[in-house]
Chain A
Amino acid sequence: QKEVEQNSGPLSVPEGAIASLNCTYSDRGSQSFFWYRQYSGKSPELIMFIYSNGDKEDGRFTAQLNKASQYVSLLIRDSQPSDSATYLCAVIAGGSYIPTFGRGTSLIVHP
């Protein structure tokens, strides 16, 4: 079992809708959680990080963390075609300093 799991998608949403991306992790002691956006052939770009249970909002993005259920999600409100990319979830497990990535979810926002 991979340490960080994501549905590879693609997730297709219409422009203006809310896109919901999910990520589960296996190490219950994980402390730090990150969402990166990656366009094809480009480097991962950090868009959100969350360390505590609950929601964290930044503009159109909301990260949600539920440590009891071991999942972290990313909501993108008012999705735009420019949001079309692969979204990578990264987790730093307990006792580690290394971000471990999921396989990413491909998001397609169609006009």
Chain B
Amino acid sequence: AAGVIQSPRHLIKEKRETATLKCYPIPRHDTVYWYQQGPGQDPQFLISFYEKMQSDKGSIPDRFSAQQFSDYHSELNMSSLELGDSALYFCASSLGQGHTEAFFGQGTRLTVV
């Protein structure tokens, strides 16, 4: 079965650079969530989209922005990167919101040097 696809899998950027992470949800899933997971930490919710509209916002820095496109894929744009942004970034998708299971992509490992 098709899963959530994230690209790239690994990304190395320098401080103050910009990065774009992409997420392709499971077909027919209309909800996308972005999470950030630092070493030894639990996934922290950043932002979510439902039917191409932002639905919830978590601990996403102002330097980050995201959107969901007409084909339901989502992109997380990260600017003015800092060393502390180094983490695993996961995208998850679900069918509908709330009382529903979310499935995670393989993640993008971002390293800021």
Contact = CB atoms under 8 A, between A and B. Distances in A.
A3 to B, nearest CB: 11
Interface stretch (B13-21, B61-69, B73-81, B96-104): B96-104
A98 B107 CA distance: 18
Contacts of A92: 98-99
A83 to B, nearest CB: 19
Size category of the binding interface on chain A: 20 to 34
A97 B101 contact: no
A43 B104 contact: yes
Nearest to A31: B99
Size category of the binding interface on chain B: 20 to 34
Interface string A87-103: 01010100011111111
B48 A44 contact: no
A22 interface: no
Which of B31, B42, B44, B58 has the most CB atoms of chain A within a 10 A radius of its CB?
A: B42
A98 B104 contact: no
A43 B101 CA distance: 15
A46 B106 contact: no
B33 A98 contact: yes
